[in-house]
Amino acid sequence: MILLQSLMKPPRLPRCFQTIGFLLVTVVIGAGCKTAPRPGAFEPRRGDEIMVAGQLVHTGTRVVLWTDPGGYDAYRVERRFAPLEKSDWEHSHDEVKDLTSPNRYNMRKARLSDEEIERVRGGGWDLPTLRKVVDQFVIHFDVCGVSRQCFNVLHDHRDLSVHFMLDLDGTIYQTLDLKERAWHATSSNSRSVGIEIANMGAYRDNEQNPFDEWYAKDPDGKTRITIPKRLGNGGICTQNFVGRPARPEPVRGVVQGTELMQYDFTPEQYAALIKLTATLTRVFPKLNCDYPKDPDGKVLSHKLPDDELNNYQGVLGHFHVQTNKTDPGPAFQWDHVIDSARRLLNGGMSEAANETSRGHMRNHF
Ligand SMILES: [Zn+2]
């Protein structure tokens, strides 16, 4: 009681102490104002953030969101590249027979209870709920060559969508929040995040391929990507970018039992994908930083049997999901992407070194 009274009625201080007290309060409030946002203050962006259930997550590499200038917005009903006066849904539906739905995405419902579905049906996901659902990262090549054309095909012509597109220069475009169920990998759509990497795809020897149009040799023997004139500059974000495949000659390899050849992805694409892979596997605990392997540790080059696919939690190719797909093709460097992403997750150390150092720590203490 005495304590309470003393708190309620502080003893009267001499005037000079009152002045010091006033100054102290002023300083404390002033310091507080430095961290409290003021109405109208802009929140700075670094330009490397992806959006996950409404939260911005850093990747360490350039990301253009669908809300950014130059971004691609898969939430929009209108076609992105049709003449403006004919881009609305009525015209689009009439003119493109493959467009059957104004929305090219829907809700992730699998693995959610009725109560959870009711809670998130308006789009209001929270991160813990999304973490329960997402456990696969599906890699595609786009057979469009550049991301702008990829969005044109997916959104304006095919009734499809994907969370990320990765352009030749390593720019990542995010077109939808990861909370959405994008339409890119049939049976894995509900549980996966998808990325379309700009690349002209993989072909059999006796099959027509677009390599002559898309690749040329410089006088010094280096291979250069030549975007066809009909695509302008291809919408590449980096001015005057010259793209080169990571390996100069087409790479041969077997996918779904058929030998295919394909030009490799660019070093800029690998660098960005490694950072995105590390980011996603950190954000989603069920998504392992790994790929489907045979007993020798080599990537499995065919669709996973249904029960294995059902149980698989990690990074995988579209060809692991469907027998009629060959992407991301024989050139894709699984070990490079996954090993490098693991090193990033382990603070720059290799998996083995990290294990060893942990062992040392355990022995030491
Ligand atoms: Zn695909």
Block means of pLDDT (10 residues each) for the chain, 365 residues, are: 44 51 48 76 96 98 98 97 96 93 95 95 94 98 98 96 98 98 96 98 97 96 96 96 97 98 98 98 98 96 97 98 98 98 85 48 34
Burial 125-158 (b: 16+ CB within 10 A, else e): bebebbbebbbbbbbbbbbbbbbbbbbbebbbbe
Q: How far is the CA of 327 from the centre of ligand 1 (A)?
A: 5
| Residues 234 and 150: beta-carbon distance below 8 Å | no
| Helices assigned H by DSSP within 196-240 | 211-214
**Cβ atoms of residues 154 and 83 within 8 Å:** no
CA distance to 150, 175, 281, per residue, from 51 (Å) = 20, 10, 14
How far is ligand 1, taken at its centre, from the CA of residue 313, in Å?
A: 18
pLDDT recorded at residue 8: 45
Phi, psi for residue 216 in degrees, rounded to 5:
-140, 155
Ligand 1 (ion): residues with CB under 5 Å are: 140, 318, 327
Q: Could you tell me the distance, in angstroms and rounded to a whole number, from the CA of residue 68 to the centre of ligand 1?
A: 25
Evaluate whether 288 touches 148 at the Cβ level (below 8 Å). Answer: no
SS3 of residue 280 by DSSP: helix
pLDDT of residue 347: 83
Q: Report CA(241)–ligand 1 centroid distance (Å).
A: 25
What is the distance of C-alpha 96 from the center of its chain? Answer: 28
Structure token pair of residue 51: 């959006």
The pLDDT value given to residue 264: 98
Rounded to 5°, angle at Cα 110 from 105 and 116:
95
d(CA 64, ligand 1 centre) in Å: 21
Q: Record the pTM.
A: 0.87
Residue 224 neighbours by CB under 8 Å, 6+ apart = 215, 216, 217, 218, 242, 243, 244
List the one residue out of 289, 318, 287 whose CA is nearest residue 303: 318
The per-residue pLDDT for 249 is 96
